Structure 1
Amino acid sequence: MQQYIGLMSGTSLDGIDAVLTAFDGPQCKVIRTFYQPYPDDLKQAILALHEPDDNELERSLILSNQLARLYAQAVHSLLDGDNGKTRAIGCHGQTIRHRPDLGFTLQLNNPALLAELTNTAVVADFRTRDIAAGGQGAPLVPAFHQAVFGHPTIHRVIVNIGGISNLTNLPLDGSVTGFDCGPGNLLMDAWCHQHTGRAYDKNGEWAAGGKVNPYLLEKLLAHPFFQQHPPKSTGRDMFNSLWLEQQLSSVDDPTDVQATLAELSARSIADAIQRYCAGADEVYLCGGGAHNRVLHGRLQTLLSPIPIARADALAIPVDWVEAVAFAWLAKQTLEGKPGNLPAATGAAGLRILGAIYPA
């Protein structure tokens, strides 16, 4: 069995998910995992780069080097001195701009430095080849979901709730599709941190104490992204704290806003499934938002009678699915196989993704 490492640092800006995996054909085994939280100063520096400001070029390059060193630390901690069997690292990098409408996406990373520090081949820059072919460059996980979660007799939908939520539709007949649904944890995390000082709303407990504001929810759901047809993708460029503040009134209760943001995430996911995944038999959740009991409960209600479960039931731990996906994408690249699904990204066709930095 070939071993690959997957590194994922997503829109939530919480840290690095590192996973060592082994692949044997379509079979995937998680061998070891490691989580490296971001230092607060690094998180704030990355957040600052999401908005235009002075000296962006130099700041982004310095941060890319910092991230590569942190990625390397995560790899060394993950392997604990044993990397003899690892063929390559698949590293997503840290997105700070995602504008496929303008033909570009930007993930901070220095894969050459990462290869140097780990003495391991690195595959990175997965999104730009798809964008060059006319695609959104996202989501990239549907091809992986199809390979490891597809079932010959059960119509499944896989929902990843990270900073942004996205889904993969795995029907029995027809094309596998996938797209971003809208904000997952991104707005909830930012609002929670602003008003409680906590990085996120653990298990949705704060949201559970509030009431959904129907007028605010209607304003949030009026964003054009929710009416846009797939393929589509989004990020902090579109959904951010400034956009949220513009929708609020001075009398909005912070706890009710949190409850409304949780409902926004649940509604946007449920609406997408009902609209584009007709006939689904099962829905599986992964990503940090899978731990949010309010989200899980609302999705179960909104999608009833479809059963909602966590991806743990499919043999990959719920927190590590995306990191495993980028290990799989690295494997695809080195084997000269496509990593995208045109029906999900809108690309002109199947493409081999990523750039290879040899050990």
Structure 2
Amino acid sequence: MNHQYYNVLGVMSGTSLDGIDIAHVTLVYKEIWSFEIHIAETIPYTPEVKKKLALAITYDRADIISINQEYTAYLAVQINTFIEKNGLNNLLAVCSHGHTIFHQPENKYTLQLGNLPQLAQLINQRVICDYRVQDVELNGQGAPLVPIGDRLLFGAYDYCLNLGGFANMSFEQNGQRMAYDICAVNVVLNHYSLKLGEEYDSGGAFAKAGTLQISLLDQLNALDFYHQKAPKSLGMEWVNRNIFPILDQIENIYDILATYTEHVALQIAKHLKENKSLFITGGGTFNTHLLESLEKHTNAKIILPNSIIVENKEALIFALLGVLRMRNQNNCLASVTGADHDHCSGRIYLP
């Protein structure tokens, strides 16, 4: 494909269940890539949809097939509404990540809802989606996928850190892009904030009101995952198996949040070299207490972009992954995922 100018939508749903991020972006290639996010919106999940997605990890095969069809139809409604509301025309493609339910690369299995061929028919647009499956089939982790975008769009920074449901970071090392998941973030913090009647810990206020529990912190820091070498990635299965049993040893939710926030800051800080630039995006960027805790443990130069990039970098980059797929260029890096080789991943569905 010879297009140099790409008018597309990027669509993303994170594991923290904030909602569906949709971004209308222009990507331009003129020796280097540039972008503009024209308009973006996070469409919150209804309580019913959020509950279904949270419980989907427990569903049997028949129920998973059903919720995949249901979610695809739900996603189509949100995309169509966004397109109509904003008067968008001549879109080249809708590049959608879907919503991760299962992520078990060790079992050669990963599943993102909403990646069915029907999506293209329901929105009457070309769809590029399902980026992770091929990488897992090639013995990769299927994650993280964002680092190719970090390299091509945000390569001026030493580290690119995303604070979403999970923290993941990418950087250049010996001419290769390296990246991996560091720890769970908002999937844990939001879980306990709900017990205090809020969907998230606004500004880290709950954590700030709690008392650090050293014994819990030591148990968290001792988990095997943190001592494994990259490539490595995380999913909710790992959180359910490893994180919640430790934190649930105590009843005080404020203390749990205080301890886990400190844990996140420590785990991120140990991956940073001194005096390097750290470009941070994702919903966790608005957790000022977490950022203050991170600053205590590192002297990295923290850089926060404008809010539209903070909130929509992943949607932007999944738009880029879709464009690279249309160009038949590699969008998955073996140095990041551990796959057998770099490759061009994603399924293309036509209406």
Deviates more, 1:343-352 or 1:80-89: 80-89
Match of 2:305 in 1: 311
Q: What does 1:19-30 align with in structure 2 at a 5 Å threshold?
A: 19-25=23-29, 26-30=33-37
Q: Provide the C-alpha distance between the structure 2 equivalents of 1:85 and 1:296, rounded to a whole number of angstroms.
A: 40
Match of 1:131 in 2: 136
Match of 2:321 in 1: 329
Match of 2:52 in 1: 45
Q: Deviations over 1:124-171 (max 9, x none)?
A: 1100111111110000000011000112xxx51010011111001135
In structure 2, the CA distance between the partners of 1:245 and 1:321, relative to structure 1 (3 Å rule), is closer
| Matched AA of 1:138 | A
| Matched AA of 1:356 | I
In structure 2, the CA distance between the partners of 1:29 and 1:245, relative to structure 1 (3 Å rule), is closer
Q: Provide the C-alpha distance between the structure 1 equivalents of 2:253 and 2:201, rounded to a whole number of angstroms.
A: 13
1:58 paired with 2:53, answer no
Gaps of 5+ in 2: none
Match of 1:90 in 2: 95
| Matched AA of 2:303 | A
Q: Provide the C-alpha distance between the structure 1 equivalents of 2:305 and 2:150, rounded to a whole number of angstroms.
A: 11
Q: Provide the C-alpha distance between the structure 1 equivalents of 2:28 and 2:159, rounded to a whole number of angstroms.
A: 24
Q: What does 1:40-189 align with in structure 2 at a 5 Å threshold?
A: 40-51=47-58, 53=59, 56-79=60-83, 80=85, 82-151=87-156, 156-170=158-172, 173-189=174-190
1:271 paired with 2:270, answer yes
In structure 2, the CA distance between the partners of 1:245 and 1:142, relative to structure 1 (3 Å rule), is closer
Q: Deviations over 1:21-57 (max 9, x none)?
A: 1011100110111211111111111221213x5xx22
SS at match of 2:67: helix
Match of 2:226 in 1: 226
SS at match of 1:111: coil
Q: Provide the C-alpha distance between the structure 2 equivalents of 1:284 and 1:228, rounded to a whole number of angstroms.
A: 24
SS at match of 1:20: strand
SS at match of 2:237: coil
Match of 1:288 in 2: 283
Q: Provide the C-alpha distance between the structure 1 equivalents of 2:169 and 2:106, rounded to a whole number of angstroms.
A: 21
In structure 2, the CA distance between the partners of 1:112 and 1:293, relative to structure 1 (3 Å rule), is same
SS at match of 1:311: coil
Q: Provide the C-alpha distance between the structure 1 equivalents of 2:341 and 2:274, rounded to a whole number of angstroms.
A: 27
In structure 2, the CA distance between the partners of 1:108 and 1:205, relative to structure 1 (3 Å rule), is same
SS at match of 1:12: coil
Give the alignment's TM-score, normalised by structure 1: 0.91
SS at match of 1:229: coil
SS at match of 1:272: coil
| Matched AA of 2:168 | N
Q: Provide the C-alpha distance between the structure 1 equivalents of 2:266 and 2:286, rounded to a whole number of angstroms.
A: 17
Gaps of 5+ in 1: none
Match of 2:39 in 1: 32
In structure 2, the CA distance between the partners of 1:78 and 1:280, relative to structure 1 (3 Å rule), is farther
1:3 paired with 2:35, answer no
Q: How far off its partner does 1:62 sit? A: 2.2
Q: Provide the C-alpha distance between the structure 2 equivalents of 1:295 and 1:81, rounded to a whole number of angstroms.
A: 35
In structure 2, the CA distance between the partners of 1:112 and 1:290, relative to structure 1 (3 Å rule), is same
Q: Deviations over 1:313-339 (max 9, x none)?
A: 9xx620000011111111011110111
Q: Provide the C-alpha distance between the structure 2 equivalents of 1:311 and 1:232, rounded to a whole number of angstroms.
A: 27
Q: Provide the C-alpha distance between the structure 1 equivalents of 2:187 and 2:295, rounded to a whole number of angstroms.
A: 21
Q: How far off its partner does 1:61 sit? A: 2.1
Deviates more, 1:74-83 or 1:222-231: 74-83
8 A contact 2:250–2:256 mirrored in 1: no
1:300 paired with 2:288, answer no
Q: Provide the C-alpha distance between the structure 1 equivalents of 2:141 and 2:152, rounded to a whole number of angstroms.
A: 21
Q: How far off its partner does 1:77 sit? A: 3.1
Q: Provide the C-alpha distance between the structure 2 equivalents of 1:100 and 1:288, rounded to a whole number of angstroms.
A: 25
Q: Provide the C-alpha distance between the structure 2 equivalents of 1:355 and 1:341, rounded to a whole number of angstroms.
A: 17
8 A contact 1:121–1:358 mirrored in 2: yes
Identity across matched positions, percent: 29
| Matched AA of 1:255 | Y
8 A contact 2:128–2:349 mirrored in 1: yes
RMSD value, Cα: 1.8
